[in-house]
Homo-oligomer: A and B are copies of this chain.
Amino acid sequence: MHAIEEQTALLEAQLANLDFPQTPSNLYDPLRYFFTLGGKRMRPMLTLMSAELFGLPKQKALSAALAVEIFHNFSLIHDDIMDEAPLRRKQATLHEKWNQSVAILSGDVLLVKAYQELCKQDSRHLPELLQVFNKTAVEVCEGQQMDMDFETRTNVSIDEYIEMIRLKTSVLLGCALELGAIVADTTSANKALIYEFGQHIGIAFQIQDDILDLYADPMKFGKQVGGDVLANKKTLLVLKAIELASPAELSLFHSLQNESVPQQKIDATRALFDQLGVREAAREMMDSHYKIALRALEQIQVEVTQKLALKNLAEVLFNREV
């Protein structure tokens, strides 16, 4: 079995074994359901890979890895309420399948469970693990609030946007990797570098998400191509377009936001973006974060061959089409 598949299988088995009590069933049934919806399990995999990078058998970082994945699922449950999302991985979200109170409270208890899982690691690592985990958890909340604020703001800058995606999603990748590094007792410099790697891979990944929304191959993409355009979402493509547009092009862009025929809206917006070179500009930003990430990985003081797994993972991520 391929190493990544093997790790995913290990993680799925552990997540399936999360020992939620039977009662109150309205608190724990929703969580049992949510973990059956699957997911890439990318974050806990990063924790395990980081532990291995620094010479620790991955089994010894399992609780830290699970804590990150549990936290991620907590944030998805609450984000889905705030975003009024009806579906998550093509299945009903918790507030849809049960109700909103159930989704709030199940999310709350899941956040506590993340801490319980983290606390299973050796107590000598606890202060440092908690310090990184707490800081990250606060940042993820801040990123979600920024994202919500952007919906009603008209003057979001590209710097603010990058800061939002950094907080909302990228710091958790950095955290996932750093927790593995902490458990493996590596140097402070290595811990900081692996965190940097994760953070910039995360930013690059999110930029790619924005690009794929409009430029993915519809035959391969799992979602509607152009979904962000239809929702008038302020993605990096939009912010870049606003930056690069002439007054006339800007006015065209704004009029397209009210276009009522979906395919027409997507095609015309894509044509305008192509004319402005938005895709290339976004790709450049993505590449620059990808390079920062790789440079951090290079500087980590371990055998070069040890780094291949993470380097390969980064490459796979950036050659994805979905």
Contact = CB atoms under 8 A, between A and B. Distances in A.
Q: How many subunits of this chain does the assembly comprise? A: 2
Given A126-B126, A130-B115, A109 B148 contact: no
A115 to B, nearest CB: 6
Q: Which applies to chain A's interface (DSSP): helix, strand, loop or mixed?
A: helix
A24 interface: yes
A21 B105 CA distance: 26
A101 B107 CA distance: 14
A132 to B, nearest CB: 11
B119 A127 contact: yes
Contacts of A249: none
Contact of A24 (B26, B104, B119, B145): B145
Interface stretch (A5-13, A134-142, A189-197, A226-234): A134-142
Interface of A: 21, 24, 26-27, 78, 81-82, 100-102, 104-105, 107-109, 111-113, 115-116, 119, 123, 126-127, 130-131, 134, 137-138, 141-142, 144-146, 148-149
A107 B104 CA distance: 10
A109 B24 contact: no
A254 to B, nearest CB: 26
